[in-house]
Structure 1
Amino acid sequence: MENVITRRTFHPAFGATLPAFVATRVERYYRERVQQTWAGGHIMRGKVPGPDALHLSSNDYLSIARHPEILSAMYESIREEGNGLLMSAVFVHGESPLLEFENRLAAFMGAESGVLCQSGYAANTGLLQSIASPETTVYADMMAHMSLWEGIRSAGANPVSFMHNDPGHLERQILRYGPGIVVVDSVYSTNGSVSPLRDIADVCSVHGCVLVVDESHSLGTHGPRGAGMVVELGLTDRVHFRTASLAKAFAGRAGFVTCSHEFQEYFKCESNPAIFSSTLLPHEIRGLLATLEVIARDDWRRSQLASNARYLRDELTALGYNLNGSESQIIALEAGPEPRTMVLRDALEAHGVFGSVFCAPATAKNRSLVRLSINAALTQEQLEKIVTVCGAIREQVQLHLWPSTRRRGDTAPAAHRQRNGHEEMAVAA
């Protein structure tokens, strides 16, 4: 079926007519984005995956979303407790699975305490709203997750960006604007690059800044038993707060903030997302408790994930793809302008490889990409298929014309330019 977006308008029988200031904004989306940029299609909607499709769009890095122990725990909870008491977590006290999970995950991460939130987005927005104010300067890596930027906005704080993974630029910004809060991701969700956390922590220590690290894409996949990158680097006493979405390696739907006992109580009575949202359902919490056991126990999943990701990074780099410094299980193929990314999406999907399209506002304008999220369950045969497909489509997607390719300056080391029985031409810088 052709992927065409049909313009829908409000009819009086189905609701009030939108006033001009809203209708104009909707009209602009259909005119500029759908028609002019996407030629009537939709950048997020390509083919429907078939039964043999390779799904590289899921954040289930450790391949545990269907783990029998986790599903059994959730099933038993639903059967015994149903949906439980629907209320804000601020009312929960005494013995409860929610508080038990908070304590166990905090201990797992080497923290004194922690707070379970409705999502990673709620964790980040709630934390920044609770620690920043209009008098606070918040320094954010320019590729920090949108939820961190939204937290800065909701706090009314002064946002100051610094160049991606550049501690020197961060320090110059702090010298200019004064001490404040620094927010970074440990692993960046857009391109899989890894933050230089030790250097960032050094800058924060010297200048008296609070350091917040979003570990959404490293909790469960990095560190001893999956405790995260901050634990792996021995920085637990230098990072003031860690946040995480549990919709990644934990394959659930929740968020978490590490903190002190004192701050835990403060957060639950100060954070708007904590106060004005209902808590997780009992079966979700029981599932997370079981998930923590699986993640802490199954080191082989992390080893396999790391091996799979390393293999693909090496092979795709050898094929001439600029992976923008990925050092993790997230691999980005940055085609650039959105129409070019749609061509890449269609080429991959025609061969049964389905990734996630990222475009503005998730990326900078004209730096859209297809993100491949690697998981532990991929077989060697499947990994080789991904490499074969990416090699076969290079001419079709005009890899040599991608801005990311030109930034790299060369498609591949000379020893790796022989692919598919013919010699490749190196792309000029």
Structure 2
Amino acid sequence: MTVAIERQIQSESNAIAKAKSEVSLSTSLALLKRQLKSDGFSSFEDLAEAIYQHKQLQVEAGLYSQDKFTLFGSDSEAQLVCPSTGTLHQCIIWCINHYTGLNRNQKIIDQVCEAVKKFGTGSGTSAISGGMSSLHKEAERRLASLVGKESALLFPTGYTTNLGVISALPGNNDFLLFDREAHASIIDGVKLSGKKFASFKHNSVEDLEKKLKKYRNNYENLIVIVESAYSMSGDLAPLGEIVQLKKKYNFHLYVDEAHTFGFYGHQGAGFCHQLGVTEEVDFIMSTLSKSTASIGGFIACKSKYIPLLEWSANSYLFQACLTPGDAAAILASLDELAANPELIAQLHQKNSYMRQKLTGMGFDLGHSQSPIVPIFIPDPDILHAFNRDLFAAGIFSIAIVYPGVKPSEGRIRFILNASHTYENIDRTLDVLEKLGQQYRLI
């Protein structure tokens, strides 16, 4: 190795060390990567080393919550494994989206076991290549009927539903408009489409209308993409007002119901159904990993759109079907939601109860309304310390940081599900009040 190369390597190493020393220990790993890249470091080896070392420092300080995992799966309470110490912690769980609490329902578990015995463990190939079973087809029929559409197409995950449909749907002269806080799967689908696009301010009907006026005469079709409830902020979309715009500007409307399907509307048909706007929504999408306690996703729409998507959405064409057991869990969950409407009622009652208590204490919950209850803590040092102390007190959630949200908009989410007891909620509220006072958040 020449002296010049050795000096270059040493110079780069010193520069990385300097850059790292200038960031807070609470800086998220993704933000650190962005900062290092902006400082001119392009080698993945250098970036990987810097990020690895930063993570180790966060783990040692107890500030890294993302590596903890449940010993026997999620429930309202569970044992958490802490890899850095090798210890177990009994905690109330607040970061998992099993809104209806059906992942521990014995009837559903029994039906899944029977389906596995009858249909086997895996599908083996994609839907278009023969991987579908009668369970999958029945799930598609039931889902379409529930949300009020002619047909539905089942995908292996919610992420790949958005990725596949949005990337495949628009024509060459179509334009995509999406809410600025849309899920990464939506944004990735938009980018993968290769078509022109723009975002509009979060939940701003005024900004959406401004963009519609700007682009409507330049493109064949405008496709507006929103979520009915946003996973990071817990607020609901103004779908009624957006539908009124649709009548005026004649665009196609795509609604992601991942965080409302199963616990809004009759028998969990979704927020579009609850507001009575289903007919005006062209595409209804949802994941099946949340309220139906399984995995997968679906798009529901007019039957005429289905062949187009089957033969142009790569994540449908080239990805193996979800397993028969997963399809059985979906069907059994739909049965439970239809037979037990109190599950949905109880979830919303607990949501109201917890929100009233937290608001009364003085916590900042933003504009949230859904069973996703965020506590906004913009200071990253306080955010991580607060979350560390929650875990020590037996309350587990994840610090939401960049890139999930903007660097200045950190938060901790408390995601309610029907299996949370009022004792779980009250114990959590007691800890939150003490820590809120300690960290001067309330």
TM class by smaller structure? 0.7 to 0.9
Q: Give the counterpart letter for 1:353 in structure 2.
A: I
Question: Deviation per CA, 1:294-324, whole angstroms, max 9, x where unpaired?
Answer: 1122110011000001111111011111111
Paired residues for 1:269-308 under 5 Å: 269-308=311-350
Among residues 277, 294, 300, which one is paired with 1:235 in the alignment?
277
- Indicate how the Cα distance of structure 1 residues 51 and 337 shifts in structure 2: closer, same or farther if over 3 A, else same: closer
Paired position in structure 2 for 1:370: 412
What stretches of structure 2 of length at least 5 have no aligned partner?
Answer: 1-24, 30-40, 69-79, 83-87
2:132 and 2:327 mapped to 1: Cα distance?
Answer: 16
Contact 1:323 1:331 in 2 (8 A): yes
Paired residues for 1:60-79 under 5 Å: 60-79=98-117
Contact 2:65 2:398 in 1 (8 A): no
SS at match of 1:180: strand
1:207 and 1:367 mapped to 2: Cα distance?
Answer: 33
TM-score with structure 1 setting the length:
0.84
- Indicate how the Cα distance of structure 1 residues 316 and 242 shifts in structure 2: closer, same or farther if over 3 A, else same: same
Contact 2:89 2:394 in 1 (8 A): no
Identity of aligned residues (%): 27
Q: Does 1:56 align with 2:94?
A: yes
SS at match of 1:42: coil
- Structure 1 residue 360, shift from structure 2 partner: 1.1
- Structure 1 residue 85, shift from structure 2 partner: 4.3
What stretches of structure 1 of length at least 5 have no aligned partner?
Answer: 8-18, 401-429
2:246 and 2:130 mapped to 1: Cα distance?
Answer: 35
Paired position in structure 2 for 1:147: 185
Q: Give the counterpart letter for 1:22 in structure 2.
A: F
Question: Deviation per CA, 1:43-97, whole angstroms, max 9, x where unpaired?
Answer: 5246747564111111111111011111111111222222254111013499722
Coordinate RMSD, CA, aligned: 2.6
- Structure 1 residue 30, shift from structure 2 partner: 4.0
Paired position in structure 2 for 1:109: 147
- Indicate how the Cα distance of structure 1 residues 84 and 315 shifts in structure 2: closer, same or farther if over 3 A, else same: closer
SS at match of 1:69: helix
Paired position in structure 2 for 1:130: 168
**Aligned residue-pair number:** 385
TM-score with structure 2 setting the length:
0.81
- Structure 1 residue 39, shift from structure 2 partner: 6.9
SS at match of 1:322: coil
- Indicate how the Cα distance of structure 1 residues 326 and 218 shifts in structure 2: closer, same or farther if over 3 A, else same: same
SS at match of 1:325: coil
1:244 and 1:21 mapped to 2: Cα distance?
Answer: 38
2:388 and 2:137 mapped to 1: Cα distance?
Answer: 46
SS at match of 2:102: coil
Q: Does 1:159 align with 2:197?
A: yes
Paired position in structure 2 for 1:26: 48
1:39 and 1:153 mapped to 2: Cα distance?
Answer: 38
- Indicate how the Cα distance of structure 1 residues 298 and 350 shifts in structure 2: closer, same or farther if over 3 A, else same: same
Q: Give the counterpart letter for 1:96 in structure 2.
A: S
Q: Give the counterpart letter for 1:392 in structure 2.
A: K
- Indicate how the Cα distance of structure 1 residues 368 and 146 shifts in structure 2: closer, same or farther if over 3 A, else same: same
- Structure 1 residue 21, shift from structure 2 partner: 3.0
SS at match of 2:104: coil
